[in-house]
A = this chain, B = another copy of it.
Amino acid sequence: MLQSQLFTKTKKDAPKDEVSNNAQLLIRGGFINKEMAGVYSYLPLGLKVLNKIINIIRQEMNEIGGQEVLLGSLQDPTIWQKTDRWDDKKVGIWFKSKLNAGGEVGLANTHEEPMVVMLKQHINSYKDLPVYTYQFQNKFRNELRAKSGIMRTREFIMKDMYSFSKNQEDLDTFYEQVAVAYTKIFERCGIGAKTYKTFASGGIFSKFSHEFQTVSAAGEDTIYISKEKNIAINDEVYNDQVLNDLRLKKEDLEKVKAIEIGNIFKLGNRFSSALGLQYTDDKGERNDVIMGCYGIGPGRLMGTIVELLSQENKINWPKEVSPFDVHIIGLSLDNEEVTKLAQEKYKELTDKGIDVLFDDRLNISAGQKFADADLIGIPERIIIGKESL
């Protein structure tokens, strides 16, 4: 793409009302725009990064047998009443709205209920299991305080996967496969080394759930990491009993701030029982389907990458999520020969299928071009000026 055509402009200064480092840099680079507290738009560069992250996640979900679907945002209260998650006193983050036709709808903050109800149409026998569904769909959360830039917003895209298995054993096996897939995703996104599989509070069906926590001063969570064993414990379950269970010693752990970028959770029959998702086993008996859920927020992941890999005035995108593969920076483009050389290079790379941003802008100083390139953060840079002739 020709940079002269890109409608976004970089900004020298961060917006005054934006305190988080990730949003400051992403707004200055022209990746995102703040629409209101907790609501951001993705501009062309930002959408390209977001889609690259989404595609990495999609590949790894398909790799373990995930099938992609897309559910609605508007929610029918009746199915949430059956699981006791409609009442604002039980779930405080609903956005609800009146229907002109009468009644009420909610905006999905998660999708267990409609996913289970949909699958009642397609799961009947043990032969139909397992099923792994996932989607990239907006979640809406009526947070009292939106904060941390694109890390905690009122509206955000979420990859949510749900697994449907015959029994606990099959769930346990798949749960471990997802954990491995998540590790791959975070490695491909360039933050694997700082990300820990973290023991967190479970529920009725499992002692622990697991979060994927990335060590960062910008994080909201406190975790205790064991660098040696490459695992961590969330503050919420950090006690002597748990340390003992996990064979960890207090003195080997380091207390750090971290960002939760993913989580995996065993749900058992919590939702299948309440909503009537059963299957017939090979003896002809009806059993509840055993479920798990697995989340990653691609937007939060993008914010975390910026928090971890940026410096002042400079974003450093890892190769796999960079908005373009190569940034050609044309200097002295008033010189016809230089322009010709730069255009040839642009064509040569583009013809090879390489996605190039070519800074072809006239009347912009070299200093400004480099400052812009720093903010845009493409890792591979080719500078073409008079010296290149």
* A interface with B by C-beta (< 8 Å): 5-9, 30, 33, 35-44, 47, 50, 65, 67-74, 76, 92-93, 95-101, 105, 107, 114, 117-119, 121-123, 128, 131, 133, 138, 140, 142-146, 154-155
Q: Can you offer 13 A-B residue contacts whose CB atoms are under 8 A?
A: A6-B67, A7-B131, A38-B74, A39-B74, A42-B69, A43-B118, A50-B70, A72-B155, A74-B95, A96-B97, A97-B97, A101-B143, A138-B138
Using A7-B128, A74-B140, A114-B35 as known contacts, say yes or no to A93 and B100 having CB atoms under 8 A apart.
yes
Bound-state Cα–Cα, A140 to B98, Å? 13
Q: What is the copy number of this chain in the assembly? A: 2
Using A9-B122, A100-B92, A142-B100 as known contacts, say yes or no to A35 and B69 having CB atoms under 8 A apart.
no
Q: Which B residues touch A119, using CB under 8 A?
A: 7
Contact (Cβ within 8 A) A100 B155: no
Within the complex, the shortest CB–CB distance from A321 to chain B, in Å, comes to: 16
Top 4 A-B residue pairs of the complex, sorted by shortest distance between their CB atoms: A39-B72, A36-B76, A95-B97, A42-B70
Using A97-B96, A122-B7 as known contacts, say yes or no to A155 and B74 having CB atoms under 8 A apart.
yes
Bound-state Cα–Cα, A41 to B99, Å? 19
Contact (Cβ within 8 A) B101 A144: yes
Contact (Cβ within 8 A) B8 A122: yes
Q: Which B residues touch A105, using CB under 8 A?
A: 36, 95, 154
**Which one, B50, B67, B121, contacts A44 given CB within 8 A?**
B67
Contact (Cβ within 8 A) B41 A70: yes
Within the complex, the shortest CB–CB distance from A353 to chain B, in Å, comes to: 14
Q: Which B residues touch A144, using CB under 8 A?
A: 100-101
Contact (Cβ within 8 A) B68 A47: yes
Contact (Cβ within 8 A) B73 A41: no
Within the complex, the shortest CB–CB distance from A366 to chain B, in Å, comes to: 20
Contact (Cβ within 8 A) A7 B100: no
Q: Which B residues touch A128, using CB under 8 A?
A: 7, 9
Question: Which of A5, A37, A72 has the largest number of chain B CB atoms within 10 A?
Answer: A72
**Which one, B38, B47, B92, B143, contacts A70 given CB within 8 A?**
B47
Contact (Cβ within 8 A) A155 B73: yes
Contact (Cβ within 8 A) A35 B97: no
